[in-house]
């Protein structure tokens, strides 16, 4: 558990402290909405080269801290670096997103590397973490992250993002042994990856389960909740003082009890649930993070101000980290980000 007397407000929230002004950071805060990011990305040549260049990845992680003074800095990387480290081919198509070689049966599964072999590929990421611990302001919390096993598996099975995660659901039904083995491999790799980030200096780590909402009934328990529980339990054995944020996006009623069921120090919530509902059903379990709709970073105006104020005031009765309900989009206006921050800190 984090130190409640820390000068880092995010660590204090994660330790369970109620704060009149919640700490704030933003998912994808280093990214395509910032002109300085675009310039650095051009310098790197392509997205993966940027991820694997510690000097430039450090720079883009620091850019939103310099510009906005967020309370947390999240490592610049990508959830699909773990599949690549496991031996999947990974490339990015301009304007379309990531592409991977696919896992459709036992043959492809057998070709994946051992979990023990991932660190050579991922070593530049750990160097970025070490760089950031040296360069971040003393009051800024360094957040590491990984994708949760179900979400990562959906990309490894389909070879790309899909609207309904259909290929993963299909493999789960037709080849359950292959699917379960893939989830287990990703779970083991994620434990090693996040543990190495913590060893390098990450003060908090976050699990992004972006497609958790497409798992229904027992499947949510088996493939979203249980892998998260296993990862957190393993990390807590190695790093008992490191807090962990879990984000089972669009979990709906499955947000209820997620703290206790997984051991997460904080549950991040998306904007499909209201702050009032979160205060009643999720926040009693511990720290919550969220949940302003990302569209406000595009549209701005009085609606941004009023909704931000409502979230801050509604979640003031317990530990809260202010964030968006999903990542900021490339068409966002940096001026609206500043307006959000000013509103949070003045609410």
Query: Residue 92 and residue 112: Cα distance in Å, rounded?
Result: 20
Query: Residue 152 and residue 184: Cα distance in Å, rounded?
Result: 12
- Catalytic-residue membership of 67: no
Residue pair 64/30 in contact by the 8 Å Cβ criterion: yes
Q: Which two tokens mark 273?
A: 């649930």
Choice among 41, 193, 209, 255 that is catalytic: 41
- Catalytic-residue membership of 78: yes
Place of tokens 């070593």: 123
Question: 232, 283, 237, 212: which is closest to 18 by C-alpha?
Answer: 283
Residue pair 241/199 in contact by the 8 Å Cβ criterion: no
- Catalytic-residue membership of 155: yes
- Catalytic-residue membership of 32: yes
Q: Which two tokens mark 281?
A: 């059903």
Choice among 33, 37, 155, 223 that is catalytic: 155
The stretches of the chain forming alpha helices (DSSP H) are: 9-14, 35-44, 47-51, 54-68, 81-85, 106-110, 118-135, 149-158, 166-174, 176-200, 218-220, 226-238, 258-262, 275-281, 296-299, 301-314, 334-346
Choice among 71, 78, 265, 271 that is catalytic: 78
Residue pair 219/253 in contact by the 8 Å Cβ criterion: no
Question: 220, 101, 108: which is closest to 155 by C-alpha?
Answer: 101
3-class DSSP state of 331: coil
Choice among 28, 33, 209, 270 that is catalytic: 28
- Catalytic-residue membership of 28: yes
Choice among 32, 229, 295, 316 that is catalytic: 32
DSSP 24: B
- Looking at the annotation, which residues are catalytic? 28, 32, 41, 78, 155
């Amino acid at each position: 558990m984090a130190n409640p007397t820390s000068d880092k407000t995010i660590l204090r929230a994660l330790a369970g402290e109620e704060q009149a002004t919640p700490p704030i950071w933003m998912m994808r805060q280093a990214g395509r909405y910032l002109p300085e990011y675009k310039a650095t990305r051009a310098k790197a040549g392509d997205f993966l080269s940027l991820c694997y260049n510690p000097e430039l990845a450090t720079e883009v992680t620091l850019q939103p801290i310099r510009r906005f003074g967020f309370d947390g800095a999240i490592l610049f990387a990508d959830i699909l670096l773990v599949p690549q480290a496991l031996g999947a081919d990974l490339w990015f198509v301009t304007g379309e997103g990531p592409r991977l070689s696919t896992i459709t049966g036992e043959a492809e599964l057998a070709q994946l590397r051992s979990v023990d072999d991932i660190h050579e590929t991922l070593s530049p990421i750990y160097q970025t973490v070490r760089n950031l611990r040296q360069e971040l302001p003393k009051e800024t919390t360094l957040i590491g992250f990984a994708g949760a096993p179900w979400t990562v598996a959906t990309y490894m099975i389909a070879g790309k993002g899909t609207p309904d995660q259909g290929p993963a659901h299909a493999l789960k039904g037709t080849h359950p042994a292959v699917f379960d083995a893939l989830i287990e491999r990703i779970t083991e790799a994620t434990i090693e990856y996040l543990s190495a980030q913590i060893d390098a200096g990450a003060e908090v780590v976050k699990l992004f389960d972006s497609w958790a909402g497409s798992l229904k009934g027992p499947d949510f328990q088996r493939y979203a909740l249980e892998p998260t529980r296993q990862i957190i339990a393993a990390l807590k054995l190695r790093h008992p003082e490191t807090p962990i944020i879990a984000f089972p996006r669009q979990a709906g009623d499955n947000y209820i009890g997620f703290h206790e069921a997984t051991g997460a120090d904080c549950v991040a919530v998306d904007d499909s649930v209201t702050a009032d509902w979160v205060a009643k059903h999720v926040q009693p379990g511990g720290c919550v993070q969220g949940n302003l709709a990302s569209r406000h970073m595009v549209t701005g105006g009085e609606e941004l101000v009023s909704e931000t104020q409502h979230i801050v005031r509604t979640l003031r009765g317990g530990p809260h980290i202010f964030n968006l309900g999903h990542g900021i989009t490339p068409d966002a206006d940096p001026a609206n980000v500043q307006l959000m921050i000013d509103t949070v800190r003045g609410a």
